[in-house]
């Protein structure tokens, strides 16, 4: 899977080297210990089972975090050109994500300003300078402005400027589109700290090729879905027959970039000297995981980057939008085979191992067999994340 391709596409290199990363990424990688010198911490931390099962807790998270603070919604690479738009349904709120003719991203409520009909009924990106309502053919630009009304002469005093699409506050940083889901809340983009932007810009997510994407409907609380991507304790066990042998059973190098947690780990074959090999694919020996607060996950791999956005739909249901990004589109059969093999493998690992683990954990917790869950030193990032999450909740 890590064999070099015969032919590199012209222009953008197909791999990343250590020197292409941000200063913060490079400094963190320098702190990876040799595996035989790594010290595993011991901790004593629990959390009540109710944080995963309670409707009251779910509602509090929605009210204090998902509706009052910017969250990652989707990826920039789905709208690579001006004049593009797509529907978005995963949050449970019908949305339109668009890029106007000047390249600016917008997020609108997917409701025509005549009678509320959905303008876009597909979540696939489309290239068009306008969006026409299928009900009465009112037409809007990708900037949300009402530009055409069928039989406009039949309306008295219709001011088109007052019937533009309802827009949600949004920003684009590091190849991620962030949004405030409550248009009446005070916009809060404080989680988008410069250090996070520098890291994500270095990964060049915004100009990557979307090789594939898939949505999963997971029967588990969103935090249980997130937990495997905050720890390495499960890797050699849950993934014993798949990716587990690629990783060492040692702690990660952990940093906080605002409320986002970054975890960096050396794979089983890692030595510090690997960072000094000129032209080496850094993602072959080092894996970086970002837990974009509150609901996003980015994971680097040798030939692709995985981006997951978790959309809580209830205490026991989560929609996961998975995106598989490659630095360039495959342009020869060997590249296509490599990317397809990688894509099929990661869908299997996430879908049939990580997400399945979340579902069986939720089912077990729902029996009432446990009053609390307990975390090991190899899972220390989980309670650290919960500390951040809980700091935003009411007392």
- 78-179 has which CATH code? 2.102.10.10
More confident residue, 185 or 395: 185
Position 39 confidence tier, pLDDT thresholds 50, 70, 90: confident
In the predicted model, what is the mean pLDDT of residues 316-344? 96
Count Cβ neighbours within 10 Å for each residue of 334-347 and write b for 16 or more, e otherwise: ebeebbeebbeebb
In the predicted model, what is the mean pLDDT of residues 195-218? 97
The answer on pLDDT for 295 being more than 50 is yes
pLDDT at 47 (0 to 100):
98
In the predicted model, what is the mean pLDDT of residues 43-64? 98
The answer on pLDDT for 217 being more than 50 is yes
In the predicted model, what is the mean pLDDT of residues 107-118? 97
299: which residues sit within 8 A by CB, 6+ positions away? 229, 287, 288, 289, 305, 306
User: Which pTM value belongs to this model?
Assistant: 0.95
Using alpha carbons, select from 380, 219, 225, 208 the residue that is nearest to residue 306: 208
The answer on pLDDT for 231 being more than 90 is yes
pLDDT at 11 (0 to 100):
64
In the predicted model, what is the mean pLDDT of residues 124-150? 95
pLDDT in tens, 239-256: 999 999 989 888 899 999
In the predicted model, what is the mean pLDDT of residues 102-121? 97
pLDDT in tens, 2-13: 333 334 445 678
Q: Which CATH class is domain 18-64+191-391?
A: alpha beta
> What is the chain's mean pLDDT, rounded?
94
In the predicted model, what is the mean pLDDT of residues 48-65? 98
Residue ranges of the domains in the chain?
18-64+191-391, 78-179
Position 322 confidence tier, pLDDT thresholds 50, 70, 90: very high
């Amino acid at each position: 899977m890590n064999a070099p391709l015969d032919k590199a596409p012209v222009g953008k290199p197909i791999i990343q080297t250590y020197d292409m990363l941000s200063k913060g990424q490079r400094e963190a990688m320098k702190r990876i210990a040799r595996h035989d010198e790594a010290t595993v911490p011991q901790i004593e931390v629990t959390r009540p089972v109710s944080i995963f099962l309670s409707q009251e807790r779910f509602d509090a998270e929605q009210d204090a975090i998902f509706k009052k603070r910017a969250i990652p919604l989707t990826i920039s690479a789905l709208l690579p050109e001006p004049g593009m738009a797509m529907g978005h349904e995963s949050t449970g709120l019908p949305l339109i994500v668009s890029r106007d003719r000047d390249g600016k991203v917008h997020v609108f409520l997917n409701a025509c300003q005549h009678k509320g009909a959905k303008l876009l009924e597909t979540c696939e990106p489309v290239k068009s300078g306008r969006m026409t309502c299928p009900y009465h053919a009112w037409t809007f630009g990708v900037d949300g402005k009402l530009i055409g009304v069928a039989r406009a002469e039949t309306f008295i005093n219709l001011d088109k400027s007052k019937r533009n699409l309802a827009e949600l506050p949004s920003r684009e940083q590091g190849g991620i589109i962030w949004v405030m889901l409550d248009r009446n809340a005070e916009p809060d983009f404080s989680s988008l700290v410069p250090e996070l932007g520098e890291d994500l810009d270095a990964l060049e997510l915004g100009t990557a090729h979307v090789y594939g994407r898939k949505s999963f409907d997971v029967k588990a609380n969103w935090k249980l879905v997130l937990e495997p991507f905050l720890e390495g304790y499960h890797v050699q066990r849950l993934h014993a027959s798949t990716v587990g042998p690629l990783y060492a059973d040692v702690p990660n190098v952990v940093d906080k970039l605002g409320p986002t947690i970054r975890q960096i780990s050396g794979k089983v074959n890692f030595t510090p000297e690997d960072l000094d090999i000129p032209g080496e694919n850094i993602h072959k020996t080092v894996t970086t995981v970002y837990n974009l607060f509150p609901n996003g996950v980015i994971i680097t791999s040798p030939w692709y980057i995985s981006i997951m956005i978790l959309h809580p739909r209830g205490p026991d249901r989560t929609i996961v939008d998975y995106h598989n990004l490659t630095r360039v589109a495959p342009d020869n059969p060997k590249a296509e085979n490599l990317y397809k093999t990688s894509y099929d493998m990661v869908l299997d690992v996430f879908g049939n191992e990580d997400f399945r683990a979340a579902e069986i954990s939720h089912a077990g917790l729902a029996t009432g067999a446990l009053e609390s869950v307990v975390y090991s030193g190899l899972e220390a990032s989980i309670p650290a994340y919960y500390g951040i999450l809980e700091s935003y909740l009411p007392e």
